[in-house]
Amino acid sequence: MPALEEQRVAITGGGSGLGLAIVRRFVAEGARVAVLELSAEKAAALRTEFPDGRVAVVHGDATSLHDNETLARTCVESFGGLDCFIANAGLWDFMTSLEQLPEDSISAAFDEVYAVNVKAPLLGAKAALPELRRSSGSLLITLSNAALFPGGGGPLYVSSKHAGVGLVRQLAYELAPEVRVNGIAPGGMSTDLRGPKALGQAGRAFSEMPVKEWLERDTPLRRAPEPDEYVGAFVLLASRRDGLTATGTVLDVCGGVGIRGGSSSGDR
């Protein structure tokens, strides 16, 4: 029996990279998935890839409570309920150090990074909570090696991902026993992950960086994983069969980055 048979899942940032890999694997494991995607082009591509009704797509912004509520409602209306909410949308800072942060844009850059990496999961949890309580479901937050170790970004990104760990633990504490809450900390991978507009990084993709070289040089396993290689951790924690004993935890699947000081950069 597929691990996620009959599960109804909602995910933010599911149009590319790790998010798209999660959508594809969850569908293969028997789930039906509602996706919130900021890019109209990526949203359209999802609709084309899944024309059979297994995936419902909402074009919207994960930093908007209204759009998260629309995602949750779409999942319920399309599939009859909501069993798992995955807060996956993210923003990197391209290793911008404290010294490099411009004085005239540091506040705006902070607001952008924290809006996507911290506020958006909080809003998603708020929007999904009534349905997750009804289904005794689960909440998953995509974190990063930067949630556990320094060196995976600059101070904006790393601190925002550390804040995500606190969010996982506090929500697990508040929502037990009805809702399980967990985080997943993947390592680097070549994706379309972007940076904040305030730093001029919105048009720059993480895949433009020498990701393969970094990973093969700096990580203990000396290899550059593809996004779909991280998805098993999400399946495990979303599963009602295999994930029932886990809540308030962050599953470290970043390839042993901490063994060498957290030097692997980026998570989506």
Paired tokens of 155: 């101070």
Low-confidence ranges of the chain (pLDDT < 70): 260-268
- Residues spanned by the domain of 111: 8-260
How many structural domains comprise the chain?
1
Tell me what pLDDT residue 267 has.
44
What is the pLDDT of the chain when averaged over all its residues? 94
Find, among 18, 44, 7, the residue nearest to 266 by Cα: 18
The verdict on residue 201 lying in a domain is yes
The verdict on residue 3 lying in a domain is no
The verdict on residue 265 lying in a domain is no
Q: Position of tokens 């691990």?
A: 3
Tell me what pLDDT residue 62 has.
98
Is residue 114 within 8 Å of 58, Cβ to Cβ? Answer: no
Instruction: Please say if 157 is a catalytic residue.
Output: yes
Tell me what pLDDT residue 222 has.
87
The verdict on residue 237 lying in a domain is yes
Catalytic residue among 114, 157, 173, 230: 157
pTM reported for the whole predicted model? 0.94
Tell me what pLDDT residue 262 has.
46
Dihedral, CA of residue 243, residue 248, residue 251 and residue 252, to nearest 10: -170
Rounded Cα distance, 50 and 159, in Å? 36
Tell me what pLDDT residue 211 has.
79
Tens digit of each residue's pLDDT (9 = 90 or more) over 99-144: 999 999 999 999 999 999 999 999 999 999 999 999 999 999 999 9
Question: Is the sign of the CA dihedral 48, 85, 22, 41 positive or negative?
Answer: positive
The verdict on residue 168 lying in a domain is yes
CATH no. for residue 149?
Answer: 3.40.50.720
The verdict on residue 177 lying in a domain is yes
The verdict on residue 39 lying in a domain is yes
The verdict on residue 139 lying in a domain is yes
Q: Position of tokens 């925002």?
A: 160
Chain-centre distance of CA 223, in angstroms? 22
